[in-house]
A and B are shown apart, each in its own frame.
Chain A
Amino acid sequence: MKRSTLVLLIGILAIVIVAGCLLLLSTNSLRAASAVTPPARTPAQINLLTVFLTGLLTGGLTCLAVQGGLLATTIAQREEQKLEDRAKNNGNALPILFFLFSKLIAYTVLGLLLGWFGSLFQLSLTTQVLMQIAVAIFMLGTALNLLNIHPIFRYFAIQPPKFLTKVVRNQSKQKDFFAPVFLGAFTIFIPCGTTQAMMALAIGSGNPLLGAAILFAFVLGTSPIFFLLGYFATKLGDVLHERFMKLAAAILIFLALYSLDGALALAGSPLTFRTIFSKPQAVGRQEISSEPTLALTKGGYSPTSLTIKAGSLVTLHLINSNGQGCIQAFTIPRLGIQKVVPVGSSGIVRFTAPLKPGQVPFMCGMGMYRGIINVI
């Protein structure tokens, strides 16, 4: 087998193995992390996988155009200095691998910064709602731009200032072998649509480790395709490119609506996507309690409905056995109550039930895991 083919196969295998292991590891370390740091504001398990898949299926292609072009320039300049067959022996796999590893590290650090920046805006309900709406709008705008709906959506794509792009350009002119490494890191200044949406997600997570994990998962997802296509340096047909753009847009819209739905619930709106599309739950016969207990678990809150007497003084016991991420931020938007109960601990919320009978929703800090308090 030719040496270059061997390097290529090793490269692909390495990326797939590293991807699998690190994704598992990062999910587990997130569980530990969210126990000691301020509650992460994203259901970690769901989003990381979606993020990785977005990168895998669409991110690699949408970014390949110029980031790949940059890489191709450095490779071409390497070959100018050698005889063609010597270049073929070593193959182009190594510079691409260097490029991708460097990009991975740079983006993970960026995710750390973005998540930390997001966490500065603390748990005020209003801020959280605004943040989620902003993230949803940005993702929707990016998706609509990917679908070429209207030129106005082009403004959702952030173009880095000229002086930054000049630096990236100068790096690509170097015939140095380490140029790909610098290039990989500098690509954070020329992110494409899907990458920017992921950056928005990282900010919205409000947790540096989660932000880092999100961008890490995304870049990891883009790597296999980037590597394969970069290696063969072939341009994919226009039709396939169109299909990938549509898939990226669809995933972004899904993430945007999910974020928006949570924002609506947190804002105390009785109308959210879930209430419109799901059948109202039948309220079973329930014991009225003035001291109910609510368990915070991995899958949400249990039970999902509580019954209390109108106008009464209620002492709610919250026990967190293994509730991760936003579940730790127990919220009753209508009553303006938010109590953070870290995993493995318990807490108490005291309030006076509203005088009017009705339903008062409770939910996690991002509006995603929900339940109902029946006031009778």
Chain B
Amino acid sequence: MLPLRQASAQTCVEAPDIAQNERAFKLFQRLNIRTFSTILELVRAEYKDRYQDNADKVHTINPVTRRLLPGLRFYSFWLISRAALLSAHLGDSMMIPFLKEFWTVYLQTLTLIMSTTRFEELPRPEYLLEEDDEIIGFTPLQEGQLQQRFLNLDGTSRKPKCHGHGIKRHHPNIEMLCRFRDFVEDAIDLAHNEVEIFPF
């Protein structure tokens, strides 16, 4: 690591290469889209195998899906903040195949989950889920409307952590179903924002 004195004494002699920076940005956007797609494929496959014909078993979340859901939630937050920007790539040949793949699997997964789960019966945890604790202070997922998700109903104080004193947590399966609900509600938000997705 550079000591503070050394770093501050550096002289930036190169002008920023705008084309390279633009390409770097697109590559990272593409990596996020493809990673999100990979996770969605896994969730969809697991959900379809276990729950499509056994809706009464949806309250028992299998170990693979348990590991995927917190990450799915991170990416759902990311999509809320980046969806409009992704639309700007719709004319870019580097991005088109991956955007098409992504939106296809996103909508398929959403449809599957909504058709098998009754979310209106689920409680709303009044505490931060474990992965929310992990992203406190992480500015990319705290901007704008995302910040509200971490606040109490009064809109000013942050929700308590799940391990906080006096917090009575819901059953882990219920928390997992709440993560599915958040995913669905994020999609509804996207629809309300009239985000332009890939034209099918």
Partners in one complex: no
